[in-house]
Structures are given as structure tokens and as C-alpha cells.
Structure 1
Amino acid sequence: MPSFYFLNLTAISVGGEMLTLPPTIFSGPETMLDSGTAFSYLPPTAYSALRMMTNLHSTGRIFHFSESQACLPFVENEDDSEVVIIGNMQHLTFNVVYDVGNSQIGFGPNGCS
């Protein structure tokens, strides 16, 4: 899939707190960075750990519809072997630079707020 950007995902942290995950959770499926997909798709093991985080509301990636309804912009894959997708909702707080000629991608602070 030459038109997609893949990376080696090794861990996920939220507000500086690392998710407790088996070290091999991201070693099987590839991880695709996709600015055309809104939500991120995670293996069930990672998704469950993310949902259990207590500091999710401080990350700025929770969308509140009312006092009792909110949306976490992540989706649980069917199983741990499916491709992981990092969607554009997670790109918003970064400047993302695509160097197509050199097949590289870079991230920096101060993206959209």
C-alpha cells in the first residue's frame, strides 16, 4: 500500500501516563497513520486499557455532547491482529509534516486547537 504511511507503534500514553499493555500488542498488526480517517482503531487489548484510564477528560480528545454523553474518538478493532489506524482526531494537537519524496513523516507541537 504505497500511498499510506505506516509506523512502528510501541506504546500509548495519555496525559503522560502510559497505558499498561503487553509489550507485544503492537508487534503483530501494522500501524497506519491516516489523516483521512477521523477516529483511531485500536486492538481490543489497547482499547480496553484506554477506556479504563482515569485522566481521559484532561486530554482534550473527548467530545462532550451533554453532561451525560461524551465520545472517545477511538474504535475497537475486531481482534488484536487487525491494522491499527491513528486517525486525524489524534493529529489535531500536532503539526504533521509529510516528506513524500523521502518517505518520512514528522510531528511537532502547536497543531490545531
Structure 2
Amino acid sequence: YYVQIKSIMVGGEVLNIPEETWHLSSPEGTGGTIIDSGTTLSYFPDPAYKTIKEAFVNKVKGYPVVEDFPALDPCYNVCGVEQLELPTFGILFGDGAVWNFPVENYFIRFEPDEIACLAILGRTRSSLSIIGNYLQQNFHILYDTKKSRLGFAPTRCANV
């Protein structure tokens, strides 16, 4: 399901990512953004991903960086931390809607290592962005194909 992103926010700050990054190009049909319940993590094209990653690296304070953790980056040592305090993450859509995510949707916590890693990856060979199911967890999502709209509301999925 294609959606139109206008911008990405980290720590309440709109990141400096050109709006064209999110556009579906014609006639090739490349790029754009899909919301996909069949893809686990979320993916953004470089350099958008690098801008998102850099924003977290610059804003995260108080947790030591874990170098060379396989695949995910950045990662932090969160030993002894019960409630993660990390910068907020949100997506602003073209129609003005804002989807703000709880920290457990965009940082994966690995036990028993007590490491938390950003659950977003870059795409070097594709301009397509994917909002994966890890980011969508504990949201009720409505696909209104007749009106070409996407609805979302926080929900404890275990209670549905």
C-alpha cells in the first residue's frame, strides 16, 4: 500500500531530507513508500537512512555505543536500563497526518546482551521506502482503498 511521506522527525526535529526522496517517480514507477505487513524492519533509501541514523547518533545521550553489532546500527549498551529514553521518531505524511511511534517500535532490544539497536536499515540499490511490521506493532491500521487513505491508532494487539 503506497503512502506519501512528507518528512521524518527525530527528537521532534524535522530532518533535512529532500521531499523528492519520498516521491514515486513516473514513468519508471520506482521509489515512493509502501506500508508492508510482510516486511519485518523498515527500510529507507540512502542518503535518507544516513540522515535518520546520524540524527539518532547525535541525539542519543547516556548510553555507550556498541561497535560492530551485526547488521543493525547504531546500537547502544542498555545494561540495567528498564525504560529506554531515546529520541522520538515520527513520520509526517503528505496530508498532514503524523504517525509517532513508541520507542519499542523503532529500537530492538536484544536480551541477554542488553543491547538496543535502531530497527531501521538503509537501501543502497533501491529508492523504495518500506514501513515494516516492527514499526507498525501495536497499532490498529485501516487500509481505506476506496478513499486512498491509511488510518492508524495505538492498540494493544494482544487485547484485540
TM range (shorter): 0.7 to 0.9
In the comparison of the two structures, how many residue pairs are matched? 107
* Amino acid aligned to 1:34: D
Written as runs of structure 1 = structure 2, the 5 A alignment for 1:42-57 is 42-52=44-54, 53=56, 54-55=59-60, 57=86
* Amino acid aligned to 1:7: V
* Amino acid aligned to 1:82: S
Q: Relative to 1, partners in 2 of residues 1:112 and 1:46: Cα closer, same or farther, differing over 3 Å?
A: farther
Gaps of 5+ in 2: 26-30, 61-84, 88-102
Identity of aligned residues (%): 34
1:83-112 CA-partner distances (Å, limit 9, x unpaired): 111101111243211235555321123454
Written as runs of structure 1 = structure 2, the 5 A alignment for 1:64-75 is 64-65=109-110, 66-67=113-114, 69-75=115-121
Corresponding residue SS for 2:48: helix
* Amino acid aligned to 2:20: T
Out of 78, 85, 96, the residue aligned to residue 141 of structure 2 is 96
Q: CA RMSD in A?
A: 2.6
CA distance in 2, matches of 1:96, 1:71: 25
TM-score (norm 2): 0.56
Larger Rg: 2
Q: Relative to 1, partners in 2 of residues 1:91 and 1:21: Cα closer, same or farther, differing over 3 Å?
A: same
The aligned residue for residue 28 of structure 2 is none
1:14-40 CA-partner distances (Å, limit 9, x unpaired): 342222212322124111110111111
The worse-fitting range, judged by mean Cα deviation, of 22-31 and 92-101 is 92-101
1:41-84 CA-partner distances (Å, limit 9, x unpaired): 101111111111225834332112224x33321121114x5211
| Structure with the higher helix share, 1 or 2 | 2
The aligned residue for residue 18 of structure 1 is 14
Gaps of 5+ in 1: none
CA distance in 2, matches of 1:21, 1:103: 25
- Matching of residue 78 in structure 1 with residue 124 in structure 2: yes
CA distance in 1, matches of 2:156, 2:143: 14
